[in-house]
Amino acid sequence: MTPTQLRAFATVVRLGSVKAAAESLDVTEAAVSLHVGQLRKELGDQLFSRTGSGLAFTPGGLRLASRAVELLGLQDRTVLEVREAGAGRRLLRLAASSLFAEHAAPGLIGRFADRARDLDVELSVHRAADFEQLLVTRTVDATIGPRPATTEGVVRSTLFLNYQIWAVAAPTHPINRATPAPNVLRDQVWVLGPAAAEDSGVVPAMLHRLGVPESKQQIFQSHAAALDEAKRGRGIALALSFVAQPDIARGALVQLPGRLTQAQGSWNVSILGGGRATPAAEEMARFVTTPRATQAMLRGRAIAHGRFKPAVHVTLWS
């Protein structure tokens, strides 16, 4: 069983056809079929068969598909680690929710990179629903955000910070004239960051609880951009309390009163369990729970981007 065979099979599984896999890998269909045939012969399993509605996988084929992705991810990561080690560098691949990545990651990574000068951090933004798969396939080394729903022992999660989300608006916004009723809130324009477009999380849960229709939601490329729109009186925003507090203190924003206009969430750091996490991931999991890390996260906006830019690579994943 070779990496080339596994990559061919994994691509067939991902794309659903030999033809599509061949195009993706830039090889002939005959080459893909040959690799799959060699796996079938070695493993004594048909792996999949063609049906009128696509490919039907055997239980063994499904098991191989899962293992192939994990093995290929480990191979890619090993190659990367060897190259980094040859250059005297280590790499930590960190996946985070959009809220954390925008508002807390700068401070955390800046402080963490100061402690480990030989470490580069690659930060990417993902849906929380994908965290477990990203860890299991070793696409990333650690995730920060909601706790992944996973089998005990597969992923080790540690809660390190509870946070609050507040509904805020400009002082001149008409909504501030009285405690807003649910039906009044539903009729307002809501200016929102990327977290509102996710399938789950504190922000989508708040919007669902309020019954805000999609027609009333304006989603911007960042939470900061949405907050700026709120300051201009163009709608209601949902913001982290520690982000909104300075603007509230200056009188640029007002927190809306009421139980429906606030919610609590939590950030967890998650790594592979059973001693399978990388040393860098273990270091991050320990550091993120320290008071120094918490202070850095809550003051993240004050840390200049240029301070940690050379050690951090940011990727936005749709």
Q: Read off the pLDDT band of 52 (50, 70, 90).
A: low
Q: Do domains 3-80 and 91-318 have the same CATH topology?
A: no
pLDDT reported for residue 18:
86
Q: Read off the pLDDT band of 112 (50, 70, 90).
A: confident
pTM value? Answer: 0.66
Q: Which residue type, as a one-letter code, is found at position 213?
A: P
Helices (H), the chain: 3-15, 18-25, 29-43, 59-86, 98-103, 105-115, 131-136, 182-186, 202-210, 223-231, 241-250, 279-287, 291-298
Residue 272 falls in which region: left (phi positive, over 0), alpha (psi -120 to 50) or beta: beta
Q: What is the pLDDT of residues 229-286, one digit of tens each?
A: 999 998 999 999 999 999 999 999 999 988 889 999 999 999 998 888 988 899 999 9
| 8-state DSSP, 138 | T
What is the C-alpha separation between 111 and 305, in angstroms, rounded? Answer: 12
| 126 to 115, 130, 224: CA distances (angstroms) | 26, 7, 18
Q: Is the pLDDT of residue 310 over 70?
A: no
Please count the residues of the chain.
318
Nearest to 212 by CA among 221, 203, 220: 203
- Domain range list for the chain: 3-80, 91-318
Q: What is the pLDDT of residues 150-192, one digit of tens each?
A: 666 789 999 999 999 999 999 999 887 667 788 888 999 999 9
Among 55-64, 114-123, 171-180, 270-279, the range of highest mean pLDDT: 270-279
- CATH topology for 3-80 is Arc Repressor Mutant, subunit A (1.10.10)
Q: Is the pLDDT of residue 53 over 80?
A: no
As a 3-state breakdown, the chain gives helix, strand, coil percent values, each rounded to 5, of: 50, 20, 25
Phi and psi at 86, nearest 5°, equal -65, -30
| 124 to 94, 95, 127, 144, 280: CA distances (angstroms) | 6, 5, 10, 10, 16
45 within 8 A of 37, measured Cβ to Cβ: no
Sequence-distant (6+) residues with CB within 8 A of 177 are: none
pLDDT reported for residue 308:
36
- CATH topology for 91-318 is D-Maltodextrin-Binding Protein; domain 2 (3.40.190)
